[in-house]
Amino acid sequence: MSAAKELHWLDYAVFFLSLLLSVSTGVYHAIKSHFFPSKSSSQQDDYLMGGRQMPPAPVALSLLTTFLSGILMLGVPAEVYLRGYQIWLNFVVGVFSSIITCHVFLPVFYKMKARCLHEYFDRRYDSLLIRRVFSILFCFFTMSYMSIVIYAPAVALSEVLSVNKALLIVIFGISTTLYTCIGGLKAVVWADSIQAVMMYAGVFSLLYKGLSHERVGGIGKVWEISVNSGRMNELFRFDPNIAQYNSFWINVLSGTITWLASFGVNQLAIQRYSSLPSLKQAQTIIYYTLIPFIILCTLVSSVGLVALAYYFNCDPMETGEIHDKDHIVILFARDILQPTPGLFGLYVSCIMAATLSTLSSGMNSMSAAVYDDFLKQSLEGKLTDSQATKLNKIITIFTGLLCTGLAFAAEPLGGILRVCISVMGAFSGPMVAIFVMALFFPRTGKFSTLVSFLVSNVAMMIICFFNYSQDPYSELFLPTNTSSAGCVGLTNNTINLRVAPSYDAHYGDPETSFLARISTYNYAGFGFVLMMLVAIPLTFFEKADQKKHYLSFWARNEEWPSSDYEMTRIDSSNGEKKSPLSPLLNHKMRP
């Protein structure tokens, strides 16, 4: 990226103030919990679940920001700029996934009153193995996602602040780990609320200033260029072929599965739903987030179209001003906002806020999953409530440091959006399918579930490997109108126009394999169908357990058996009765 003018002190002030706000939120809730502990819940429940008395508004904002990370702020506009508006549809179908979550998954999961969603497998299959296998995948999925999104603000800031990218990765990773560790879920949720406001403010500022700029020419000009350059036409590709970059059907079908993996069967989301006092409140906030979610996704996607209008006659990737497509948005923001002191700092803070919200949510949820799935059963009765809470904080620190270290691997993988879509898509399908089988197919047992889950995940990893090793869509881009005349007075660099390949790049390089050309956007749907195809035939060799009816979708509105709330554990060594446990804690017990 070309050298920028020196940033105004207000830009730095806004940026550091936003970072300070997040850290201060963690400090505040840590002090509050220490001097004014909750009287209605344990320390651990207060740390991981907010005492199950969180107010709806900040939880709604937290859900809104958790999965709208720096990937959304940087990767999505760059994708729109280069390849069209299809990616917008992939995001807004998350609305349908949220509604499905509200009425299909949440009524069952909320009744568990558990800190960790994965306890469902303990009860449904009487299998600690399935629970832990799924938990391992969840942890890998979450760490991969977090390591990718921590890379995003480093990309945004390293060039404009002339600060080493590695140093920025460490700063953001450590600061997020700090406030998540000391403040728990309350700090995460309230920090997310602040960060949500910053996200909207930053995007609105960039769009307003961009549309007002003479090089852009207003909304009419943006729309004209978007249509004439073919960016909007990409929304109307109805070809059902799975071996293409993207299409309407791929976005709607696979996109729904992808967002179900985020909003419906994900510990990050379910943990927040369960922190509310009632199921009705949890369902209500889902509907509260739908319109803001669509608006934010639309605004951020539109940044790519406004940037296209600004650079249409002089593309910075063709002039050599930038070499990484992930730099397009931050270059555009610098050009548009830097003349007004403080505004560029606001947009940089917007990117940072989006990323910190995802990191903090992931760290807090992984702490709950690791403790409940792998440590709780062996440590139950051996640790006090205070000691267990401290152990959760140690897990949070370890998770934060590990994800910060893994963030250094994000850059060479081909851009933040590609990595995110690939990783999320590859594991999303089986992650949703395993719950669908458990909820809707009563014959499903341990064998069919475990075999199909492992087979489908291995198959998706193989497909991912083919895609990364062959990269069939590397030559896919839509044209600009770059010319020497269009760049007069804008750059002194030599113009190297990108030349379209001889084949239709939307369907990938024909010299690559079919597996490599399966759309990364289609991974979630492909993995979902694959697991169902393997699992359903295997269920005919199993017998339905009628005792598990209350765990199904059909019984979502029924009360849990009273024995689930009165269970006691008999110590194996002396037969002494212990205190009642969570309804799904002991995988060996029956209703």
Residues of the chain with CATH 1.20.1730.10: 9-481+512-558
The predicted structure's pLDDT at residue 5: 59
Distance between CA 9 and CA 82 in Å, rounded? 33
CA distances from 315 to 160, 268, 321, 325, 493 (A): 19, 39, 9, 11, 11
Segment 485-492 long-range contacts (CB within 8 Å, at least 24 positions apart): 485/313, 486/312, 486/313, 486/314, 487/313, 487/314, 487/319, 490/314, 490/319, 491/2, 491/314, 491/316, 491/319, 491/321
Provide the pLDDT for residue 591: 35
Which spans in 264-372 are helix H? 267-273, 279-311, 328-337, 343-370
Report how far residue 576's alpha carbon sits from residue 68's, in angstroms, rounded to the nearest whole number.
Answer: 49
Find the distance separating the first CA and the last CA of the chain, reported in whole Å. 63
Structure confidence at residue 41 (pLDDT): 74
Token readout for 414 is 């081909």
Contacts of 181 (CB under 8 A, 6+ apart): 26, 363, 393, 396, 397, 400
pLDDT of residue 511: 95
Span 485-534, pLDDT tens digits: 899 888 888 888 888 899 999 999 999 999 999 999 999 999 999 999 99
HSE-up (13 A, CA, CB side) for residue 48: 31
Q: What is the pLDDT, as a whole number, of residue 323?
A: 79
Please, what CATH class does the domain formed by 9-481+512-558 belong to? Answer: mainly alpha
Lookup: tokens for 85: 């508006």
C-alpha–C-alpha distance, residues 402 and 413, integer Å: 18
Task: Quickly tell me which residue has 């740390």 as its tokens.
Answer: 47
DSSP character string of 388-434 = HHHHHHHHHHHHHHHHHHHGGGSGGGT-HHHHHHHHHHHHHHHHHHH
3-class secondary structure, 442 = coil
pLDDT at 414: 54
Contact (CB, 8 A) for 146 and 402: no
The whole-number pLDDT of residue 237 equals 93
pLDDT tens-digit profile, the chain (591 residues): 454 557 788 988 998 898 898 889 888 888 888 788 877 678 888 888 888 889 988 898 888 887 777 777 888 999 999 999 999 999 999 999 999 999 999 999 998 888 899 999 999 999 999 999 999 999 988 888 888 778 777 876 777 767 788 888 888 899 999 999 999 999 999 988 888 888 889 999 999 999 999 999 999 999 999 999 999 999 999 999 999 999 999 999 999 999 999 889 999 999 999 999 999 999 999 999 999 999 989 999 999 999 999 999 999 999 988 877 878 998 999 999 989 999 998 998 888 888 888 889 899 999 999 999 999 988 988 899 999 999 999 999 999 999 888 888 766 555 566 667 787 788 999 999 999 999 999 899 999 999 999 999 999 999 988 988 899 999 999 999 999 989 988 888 888 888 889 999 999 999 999 999 999 999 999 999 999 999 999 999 988 888 888 888 988 888 777 544 333 333 333 344 343 444 433 433 333
